[in-house]
Structure 1
Amino acid sequence: MTFEPKAKKKPFPLESLLVPQVPRGNYLHVQEDKQRLQFKKFLLHRMFLVAKIQANVEKKDIAEYYEQVFQSILKQHLEEAVTGVLLIYPTSLLHILESSNGTLFQILLDYLAHENDPQYFAQEMKIIVISHNIPTRLFMQWYVSVIKVPVMYLDDVTQSQSLKEVTTEFITHIHKLSFFLFKTIKVGSKGPGDNLHQIAPDLLLPEQIIKYLCKCKEFMDPATFINMYNKPVYITFDSEVVWPAPSRF
């Protein structure tokens, strides 16, 4: 009886241990692929601002000023148009802005350039919310609405509610109003105009909440936000920690 020699096993390739068989990516590549699919050239962000305004300032001057700022920024950041809505109350304003990170950064820098100017129309500006990498815009262009008729309220909710409750009410009202305008306003129109208090009175945010948020120290002002944005991040890895600590002679 003869036995056939067993076939020798092929050596396991060393390359399979060194090179991963499954292609791997990172979070940045995933975001870039999403932008390519949506034909976007930059990540889209949404920012909510509140501020007090001087009583003697013409409301149309505020709108014209922001339009000039947007045009100036557009020359540096091409195809990064600003969309959103500016609600001008009798003594305060609420501003929703949608654009790239660089454009929103320039808008905050413009405020800082006039922060110490007593004649500047906006004072005590606060950043309430910044939503990063939003999937789509809620506004097709930038609209302005002047709230001419003051809305009367029976009680001041800011006196009986906590900051968390007031902030929740603020975000709820704003998102409902934003979706209402998204469904109502047609592309190319002038927007809600100055009759927003008649079109959607229940969706309008009470001005007392805006003034309350302007005073809250829990929210960042543009200067604090920009300083934090420009501050470098230092991360100490475990491999950098040596024990015992090095000493100098």
Structure 2
Amino acid sequence: MEVSSQLRLDKRKEDVGTSLFHCRMEQRRLLNPQEEMKFLLHRLVVVASLPQQLEDRRDIGAHYEELNQRLQRKYQGDAVTGLLLLYPTCMLHVMESSSEVLAGVLQDLRDMQEGPHGARIEVSKILVMSHDLPSRLFQQWSYELLNMEARVGVALGRDAPGDDEEEDTETLVRTALSMVLKLGSHLLKPTIKGVKTPLGSRLDVMPEMIVPQDLLVKLLSRDLLSPQEYLQAYLTPLHIPMDTGHVFGSSQPTTV
């Protein structure tokens, strides 16, 4: 009887919002009073190499425009924001939405690598999957074609841009993500006198905030989680022995 009474008491406490989940949701509501939080916000940052036989990079942009519309029809209310940068040989994609939408993006990325009529993406790596974010970094989703010859040395702040000194993976990832955050924060700033400026024009005046293609190429060769590995962990059920509290499942982490 004492156990049943305690369970009912715990249930009443959770109903009035004393659980960690409810506390976190209330905190998010206070931070975003103008936005009704219908789902937890996550951010995915991936890098991928483009095949040499790709004739028009705009086909990739059009593909993601169609994919975003399809996912938003399936998960109504889960808005998608972000930025897709298409370099001559690779791409950098930042997306913000629910976990279900981002899992769909990774599944599509995996399918693009394994397409029966030739891969539209050759190699892809996840730089980060950030969970439960307080706010968005981008106001909408868009893509832009870039023609850049910047080198990794500039992004890392070296004195000699041509220096081929090997950098560890953590430093490269941290540098790329730092530049992504700075770029997103800059794009959030209002334009002069409220005039809407095309994304390409805004990127042209701040090349130092754009992640160099050379840095992305280096990241593609590092031991980072692939979409296939992430999805395997994401879709693997967890086994929790009630007597120990330990969680067993895939050895791959679900976050980077």
TM-score, structure 1 length as denominator? 0.78
Task: Note if 1:181 corresponds to 2:187.
Answer: yes
What is the CA distance between 1:135 and its match in structure 2?
A: 0.8
Deviations 1:179-211 (A, max 9, x none): 111115699957422662x31111121111111
Larger radius of gyration: 1
What does 1:41-120 align with in structure 2 at a 5 Å threshold?
41-55=38-52, 56-117=54-115, 119-120=118-119
2:174 is aligned to 168
2:252 is aligned to none
Q: Provide the C-alpha distance between the structure 2 equivalents of 1:43 and 1:169, rounded to a whole number of angstroms.
A: 26
Deviations 1:135-164 (A, max 9, x none): 111111112121124335654567432112
SS in 1 for 2:94: strand
TM-score, structure 2 length as denominator? 0.76
Q: Provide the C-alpha distance between the structure 1 equivalents of 2:120 and 2:196, rounded to a whole number of angstroms.
A: 27
1:230 is aligned to 235
Aligned partner letter, 1:169? T
Deviations 1:120-145 (A, max 9, x none): 32221111111111111111111212
1:206 is aligned to 212
Q: Is the 8 A contact 1:114 1:120 kept in 2?
A: yes
Q: Please list every run of 5 or more consecutive structure 1 residues that lacks an aligned counterpart in the other structure.
A: 1-13, 241-249
Change (3 A) 1:206 1:174: same
CA RMSD of aligned residues (A): 2.9
SS in 2 for 1:48: strand
Q: Provide the C-alpha distance between the structure 1 equivalents of 2:225 and 2:164, rounded to a whole number of angstroms.
A: 19
Aligned residues: 222
Aligned partner letter, 1:202? E
Q: Please list every run of 5 or more consecutive structure 2 residues that lacks an aligned counterpart in the other structure.
A: 155-159, 246-256
Percent sequence identity over aligned pairs: 26
